[in-house]
């Protein structure tokens, strides 16, 4: 499950981790994005490739095609997305990347749930694999995007049994490539994932439960 995450650095801070020189049509913006508590149903900056250039578009987080009569979905399982009726077209033609600094999960603690912030031990940005309905630049409110999830392992499973599929920088670039087919994308998802052992986590304030709260204090370790 991935239902909340932080995307707070500048665009350049994320892009510079992918490659020094990228073919892109993305305006320079020195201001930090500054979103520490991104929730579904909002527009999120989504990195994607079209016409052999990278673009960064504000895209609705949630996917509900016209025939879907339930609440919008926000995640797609990597184990089944490539072959499912709903997600196969997105997997084939709508692969993208979401920048992040980390994500939140809640673990039951007595009669309450304690939120945790999960991030890379080395402090580097995260690149979530995503799939969505193209063209992304239209900003469709219904057919937006989903974050791809994988089974948690090692210590992460103590927090939650699912986690976002976080790709290494070179895998993230390949994932977005329009020259890569669905089968090749399955291999990228398998071989290009950041291993669970590269992540750390700490408890954070329960204030993150309120989506109106957006400050940097939400990702700070909870004081004993």
Q: Give the residue numbers annotated as catalytic, written as ranges.
A: 2, 105
| Distant-in-sequence, close-in-space partners of 35: CB < 8 Å, separation ≥ 6 | 6, 7, 8, 214
Handedness of CA 109, 114, 118, 121 (dihedral sign): negative
Both tokens assigned to 107: 């673990």
Rounded to whole angstroms, the Cα distance separating 89 from 94 reads: 7
Half-sphere exposure of residue 95, counting CA atoms within 13 Å on the CB side? Answer: 29
Distance CA 90, CA 82 (A): 8
The answer to whether 69 and 86 are in contact (CB under 8 A) is no
Which residue in this structure is represented by tokens 């250039």? 53
Half-sphere exposure of residue 211, counting CA atoms within 13 Å on the CB side? 8
Question: What are the b/e assignments for 57-80, b being 16+ CB within 10 Å?
Answer: bebbbbbbeeeeeeebbbbbbbee
Number of Cβ within 10 Å of residue 45's Cβ equals 18
């Amino acid at each position: 499950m991935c239902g909340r995450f932080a995307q707070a650095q500048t665009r350049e801070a994320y892009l510079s981790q992918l490659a020094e020189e990228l073919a892109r049509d993305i305006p320079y913006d020195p201001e930090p994005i500054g979103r520490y508590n991104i929730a579904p149903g909002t527009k999120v900056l989504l990195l994607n490739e079209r016409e052999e250039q990278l673009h960064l578009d504000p895209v609705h987080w949630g996917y509900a095609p016209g025939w879907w009569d339930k609440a919008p979905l926000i995640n797609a399982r990597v184990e089944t997305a490539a072959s499912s009726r709903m997600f196969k077209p997105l997997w084939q033609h709508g692969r993208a990347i979401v920048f992040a600094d980390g994500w939140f999960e809640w673990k039951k603690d007595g009669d309450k749930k304690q939120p945790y912030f999960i991030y890379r031990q080395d402090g580097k940005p995260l690149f979530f694999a995503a799939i969505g309905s193209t063209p992304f630049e239209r900003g469709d409110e219904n057919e937006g995007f989903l974050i791809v999830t994988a089974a948690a392992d090692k210590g992460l499973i103590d927090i939650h049994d699912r986690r976002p599929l976080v790709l290494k920088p070179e895998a993230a670039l390949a994932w977005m490539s329009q020259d890569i087919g669905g089968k090749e994308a399955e291999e990228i998802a398998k071989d290009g994932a950041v291993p669970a052992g590269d992540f750390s986590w700490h408890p954070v304030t329960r204030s993150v439960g309120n989506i109106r709260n957006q400050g940097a204090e939400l990702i700070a370790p909870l004081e004993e």
